[in-house]
Structure 1
Amino acid sequence: MYSSKPCGMGQCGMDVVLLLPHPFSLIPISSRSSVQSLLVSLLDPLLPFFSPLKSRIKCPGATAVRFDQSASEVEGICRPLWGLACLLAGGGEYHAKEYWIEGIRNGVDPEGEEYWGYPRDNDQRMVEMCPLGFALGVVPGIWEGLGDKGRRDLENWLGNSINEKNMPDTNWLWFRVFANLGLKKNGGKYSQERLDRDIEHLETFYRGDGWSNDGPEGIHQMDYYSSSFAIHFLQLLYAKLAGEDEPARAAEFKKRAQIAALDLAHYYDAEGRSIPFGRSVGYRFAMVSFWGAIAYADIELPAPLTWGMVKGIVLRHLRWWQTQHDMWSSSGTLTIGYSYPNMYMAENYNSPGSPYWACLAFICLAVPQSHPFWTSQEEDHWPVLPPIKPLPQPGHIMVNLGTHTFLLSSGQACSYPMKGTHAKYGSFAYSSSYAYSVPPGLFTLEQYALASQLGFSDDGGEYWKTRRLSTSHLSTTPDGTPVLISEWKPFVDVHVKTYLLPPVPGATENWHLRVHHIWAEGREVMTADGSFAICNESTQRDSKGRYLNWYDAEKGEGTSPKLIGNYDLATPEAWADGEKGAFAVHAEKGAVGIKALEGGAKRRANLVNADPNSNLVESRTTIPTLQGTIKKGERVWYVSGIYARPGGDKKEFLKGWENVPEIPGWLREEIAKTS
């Protein structure tokens, strides 16, 4: 939590409080014991928020969610169990572990004042049964500490209730598996028939190449739920805990993880950052839990990965989160958001206790000290991976070139239209350096914040529509380059075919191509094609914290054309010819930009001053953007070159800006025959 101390009395008569860095940020991470301390720094700030009988935690924040307040507070106590259970299972200790045992005993008591409540169909309580079931399976002291009545109450609440209720046809089914498994491991009453039936159904989610979908046929959603948040993670825990009884199933789950590991390694950059993609990224460092689970399940790593590389992925990831000092509440608890508190990005199921699903990352603490995960020296995994790798199952092309780790994406969509779903799944590119942006409002480009998206407006620029649902496929060009092709409709009578091409190693490796063939069959539309979003706060002494100014090569910072405020876009110097393009350079974050490569000066370039708090990492951003208009009935080709160069010498951030990539010959032929 934030350490604080009174600094005297202010004029208003109230104590002045000095906030110091969170203890989480001050722990040098190198060993198992240091990661144990890291977890303790997360758990300690929760202790003041336990209810009198310890059965609930009401985390700071009065925000509501789609489920009831009681379930929100059950979430508050159960989610930290992921970390606490891993700590205890690995031989560690925690001074307040009895809080959780007492809380469970009182929470499942149907006559008690703090009874958790009998779950209904599709109840959030079912989600929280998963960490509880896992904790029962790996920490015998919990079951023993409940007493005879507490154990009977838990059997009724955990087993009977969840086995007779309906659940969403998603990764949720794993939660019921672990509720039954936890009881089974302790000799409690459980349903083997229900457990087997759920796993058999979950097997229908498997798509091949190690990947499972988060749902049945008709849904294409392979985000972190397919790996670290739920499916792969829980498959590996199941293989570990139930492997003796089901060796064939355990072996299959381990085999899938071995295959997927060579894909999933591409989602983490050399600095430890993961690529934010999809929903629930507010679970933060849970995005790395797959790698600890591989060690926990005693898997043999696929070549060329080593345990030093796996350890490096995990520890560098945790260290990067240590640098995100604004993600805490004043009480030291995690907030809803990513790098800072942000309700715009939140899903309707994110309660104040929801972020503690992040504790999945501490599965590594259940791994013995003698395991090579802990005894190996850290290594970087990128030197042994291909710089470009197509992934057919998620519909991604993974890229690590020019100091930039990112992915191109097509075809995914959440099964329901959640807030910002077009940004979380429908963007063309997702970067570890330049996180995606969500709309904080629905009026003008500034509020839509179309980073790595193509937007269409038929009302003069007030409302915009982007790619959400699309049909797509991964193809290979004649020269062997992977390309993602998607077809989609922002309006029923506007047709778009988009081609996404990764960078070419060498002189243009900081560029990727985004090509659109658009037919405005039934209406005239305005278009806006955005690059990555970048921090819009100057580092210069004379304007520190203000918006970026004109580009100054000596300072290595600024924009071209000029960045103008939201209300004076008619200013001539705010616009440039599309072929000249628009870019923004930040002295610490690098450079991003966009150019129109189709010729003919059909589009103009400017900097969209995105509304604050739209981006996951940077609270103030600007987005270099190409804008144009397509008349009703017109067919056009847009060829956008997207530039990004994070890291390195600031005076070289624009080194490749003038050296644009060539349009491949096969694509020129495609454009020629359809123009």
Structure 2
Amino acid sequence: MTYDPASANPLAGNPLKTRADMIRAVNDLFNPLLPFFSDGNARVRLDGAGAHFDRAAADLEGFARPLWGLAPLGAGKNAFDHWHRFAEGLANGCDPAHPEYWGTVNARDQRMVELAALGFALALVPDKIWEPLDKRARDNIIAYFKHVRQFDYADNNWKFFRIFVDIALDRLGADFDRSLTRQYLEELEGFYIGDGWYRDGNIRRIDHYIPFAMHFYGLIYSKLVDDDYARRYRERAVLFAKDFRHWFAADGATIPFGRSLTYRFACAGFWSALAFADLEALPWGEVKHLCLEHLRWWQDKPITSHDGVLSIGFGYPNLLMSESYNSAGSPYWAFKAFLPLAIAEDHPFWTAEEKAPEQAPEVVPQRHPGMVVMRAGNDVVALSSGQENLQMRFGTEKYAKFAYSARYGFSVEADERAFALGAFDSALAFSDDGLHYRVRETNEEAKIAGNILYSRWSAFKDVKVETWLVPSAPWHIRVHRITTPRPLQTAEGGFAIAKRDLDADTLSAAEGSAHAIGEVDFTGIVDLGSSIKRNGLAQKALPNTNMIVSKTLVPQLRGEIPAGETVLITAALALNDPAAVSGSWTTPPKAPDIVALQKLVNENGVTVSAIEAPGHMS
């Protein structure tokens, strides 16, 4: 029997229109985990792949993460047949004398992350997982939770994890030091930038962790606790919703950007949290549509193994794009999308008729993440400058490309010693030996002026680059001014589209341009008048590098720049329309004047918030 990705995906065939559909979805996604529960139910081990933390913590992750969806399921008075597993597993995992004990925390530890889900569940459904336990088990749980609180949590969204432990301790009537709760609430305030936006810590990182972590936890807090912080979280979420909706395309796809994308439909978690918190940041019909349409986008993707267990990956199983902290249970943070199951079926989130948000302006500048978001056909593209992540694997590809697309995703490189084979989609690569290469990793300066992004960066220590990104929907333009003391080879890529088998696609390459026509997509890149000649190449990228599809084609421009100053001017286009080859492709935008761009940024440019992180070490 062959593997059928559609039938293996538990979301396939589910209309995902109603509360009943969502109840079915969370059960269908959870049930494949049942064979992997340990005898004492405290551990869920899905495969042999490892994360940087120990196996007990990974097994706890597999146990705890589904509770982000199951606790709301229980709180909403919906049937679930496996609460006994979670009650028993919680008791055994916190019992130092039990063979399935989760281990004692002695410093910053992954267990701190997973206990937040347990704290959330204890606050929401104590009747399911607390009240059935005897005094000894309860004492062990309280002792375990209180022990973990004394250690320092990471200086980012992790601070919410101790707050969720504290909420549980408070609900369970435990005695604990509440000043620590207030300390972390206050420290989290330091990550707030304004206009509803946070950083994920004092670093140049403003990604999906803002909606599916900072706002998600803040909105849950605002439902469970009534204080000034709760009111702030609600006010900020209203502001953020107006910006974040622009990250979603008409078909429900969101822009893949940043780390932890294996959490997949956790990207709907913000809309789900608005429902849970009873906060109408946008009309309920729009919040419902953004949430459910995103879930529906995942229905036909091969995101599970043949047994229905979510894989590590994004659009398909892919360890290459994973983080060092992704164990096999990591993807179940996706269950954050199921928060609305806690609210009654007569809530306006469920009773409202779905409505797509009003058509967005063609171009939306967003200063805080350093993005200019534009509509290109039915796609959403974010031009980007100002973010970085040098700590994560492929952090450069996840944060520092020039453009990110909801439809075409982005690619990670498979080999840093393969300049000739690199995808370099939405990137400019330099090589001084034809083998190794450098791309933009960090910015020395990043500004936004109206709809124009500017950045100054170094490819090598002695190679300086200035880049201007200009929307010209459905195209975008990149202008690079490069100063180098020696000749360098360059490669610049457009967007990656799906490659068919049997070389069924149409590839074209000429001096100054390249394009590819796939089954349903067109992608092209063209030189608009650079100071050197560049040759086109329709690159057959290495497999399993793109986030959304496993095999791709990327149009590129390649050439050699001399010592001194070189200006490259490029336009890139990708559309869900093969006929674009005789449409938009034939009318590329005009090359902008670099002097006028420079003047605009000098006179009107403001620094991108992301690059202003106070704790950043360059």
Pairwise same-fold verdict (TM > 0.5): yes
Residues 180-579 of structure 1: matches in 2 within 5 Å?
Answer: 180-216=166-202, 219-228=203-212, 230-243=213-226, 246=227, 248-301=228-281, 305-324=282-301, 326-383=302-359, 385-414=360-389, 416-445=390-419, 447-460=421-434, 462-476=435-449, 481-503=450-472, 509-521=473-485, 523-537=486-500, 545-549=501-505, 558-561=506-509, 576-578=510-512
Alpha-carbon separation, structure 2, partners of 1:74 and 1:526: 48
CA displacement, residues 148-198 of structure 1 (integer Å, 9 cap, x when unaligned): 111111111112x22211221111111111111111122123331111101
2:95 aligned counterpart, secondary structure: coil
CA displacement, residues 557-578 of structure 1 (integer Å, 9 cap, x when unaligned): x1212xxxxxxxxxxxxxx111
Cα deviation for residue 472 of structure 1 reads 3.7
Alpha-carbon separation, structure 1, partners of 2:457 and 2:323: 25
Query: Contact 2:207 / 2:258 at 8 angstroms: preserved in 1?
Result: yes
Higher RCO by CA contacts (8 Å cutoff, separation 6 or greater): 2
> CA 1:241–1:192 in structure 2 vs 1: closer, same or farther (change >3 Å)?
same
CA displacement, residues 436-484 of structure 1 (integer Å, 9 cap, x when unaligned): 1011222224653211111111112x111111111343333xxxx5111
Alpha-carbon separation, structure 2, partners of 1:608 and 1:294: 43
Q: 1:658 aligns with which of 586, 595, 599?
A: 586
> CA 1:600–1:23 in structure 2 vs 1: closer, same or farther (change >3 Å)?
closer
Q: Which residue of 1 aligns with 2:567?
A: 637
Alpha-carbon separation, structure 2, partners of 1:666 and 1:427: 21
Q: Which residue of 1 aligns with 2:143?
A: 156
Alpha-carbon separation, structure 2, partners of 1:363 and 1:139: 13
2:590 aligned counterpart, secondary structure: coil
Alpha-carbon separation, structure 1, partners of 2:363 and 2:344: 35
2:308 aligned counterpart, secondary structure: coil
Cα deviation for residue 22 of structure 1 reads 3.6
Query: Contact 1:449 / 1:611 at 8 angstroms: preserved in 2?
Result: yes
Q: Which residue of 1 aligns with 2:541?
A: 610
> CA 1:525–1:123 in structure 2 vs 1: closer, same or farther (change >3 Å)?
same
Query: Contact 1:163 / 1:191 at 8 angstroms: preserved in 2?
Result: no
Cα deviation for residue 65 of structure 1 reads 1.0
Amino acid at match of 1:488: W
Cα deviation for residue 24 of structure 1 reads 2.4
| 2:114 is the counterpart of 1:132 | no
1:657 aligned counterpart, secondary structure: helix
CA displacement, residues 598-642 of structure 1 (integer Å, 9 cap, x when unaligned): 25552111112110000011111111001111223x101111001
Query: Contact 1:475 / 1:483 at 8 angstroms: preserved in 2?
Result: yes
Amino acid at match of 1:622: L
1:344 aligned counterpart, secondary structure: helix
Alpha-carbon separation, structure 2, partners of 1:390 and 1:421: 23
Q: Which residue of 2 aligns with 1:620?
A: 551
Cα deviation for residue 114 of structure 1 reads 0.9
Query: Contact 2:532 / 2:561 at 8 angstroms: preserved in 1?
Result: no
> CA 1:382–1:18 in structure 2 vs 1: closer, same or farther (change >3 Å)?
closer
Alpha-carbon separation, structure 1, partners of 2:420 and 2:33: 37
Q: 2:40 aligns with which of 50, 53, 68?
A: 53
CA displacement, residues 348-402 of structure 1 (integer Å, 9 cap, x when unaligned): 011011100111111121122122111111111142x322111111111111143
Identify unmatched segments of 5+ residues in structure 2.
600-618
Alpha-carbon separation, structure 2, partners of 1:373 and 1:611: 43
Query: Contact 2:481 / 2:566 at 8 angstroms: preserved in 1?
Result: yes
Q: When the two structures are superposed, what TM-score results if normalisation uses the length of structure 1?
A: 0.86
Alpha-carbon separation, structure 1, partners of 2:49 and 2:597: 54
Query: Contact 1:486 / 1:498 at 8 angstroms: preserved in 2?
Result: yes
2:382 aligned counterpart, secondary structure: strand
Alpha-carbon separation, structure 2, partners of 1:205 and 1:134: 23
Cα deviation for residue 144 of structure 1 reads 1.1
Q: When the two structures are superposed, what TM-score results if normalisation uses the length of structure 2?
A: 0.94
Alpha-carbon separation, structure 2, partners of 1:659 and 1:651: 13
Amino acid at match of 1:660: P
2:503 aligned counterpart, secondary structure: coil
Q: Which residue of 2 aligns with 1:585?
A: 517
Q: Which residue of 2 aligns with 1:542?
A: none
Cα deviation for residue 289 of structure 1 reads 0.5
| 2:13 is the counterpart of 1:26 | yes
Compare CA radii of gyration and give the structure with the larger one.
1
Amino acid at match of 2:571: G
Query: Contact 2:8 / 2:306 at 8 angstroms: preserved in 1?
Result: no
| Paired-residue identity, % | 38
2:173 aligned counterpart, secondary structure: coil
> CA 1:236–1:114 in structure 2 vs 1: closer, same or farther (change >3 Å)?
same
Count of aligned residue pairs for this structure pair:
598
Range with bigger deviation, 397-406 or 100-109? 397-406
Amino acid at match of 1:241: L
| 2:576 is the counterpart of 1:646 | yes
Alpha-carbon separation, structure 2, partners of 1:117 and 1:227: 31
1:546 aligned counterpart, secondary structure: helix
Q: Which residue of 2 aligns with 1:555?
A: none
Identify unmatched segments of 5+ residues in structure 1.
1-6, 8-15, 504-508, 538-544, 550-557, 562-575
CA displacement, residues 10-34 of structure 1 (integer Å, 9 cap, x when unaligned): xxxxxx9998444421222110011
Query: Contact 2:531 / 2:567 at 8 angstroms: preserved in 1?
Result: no
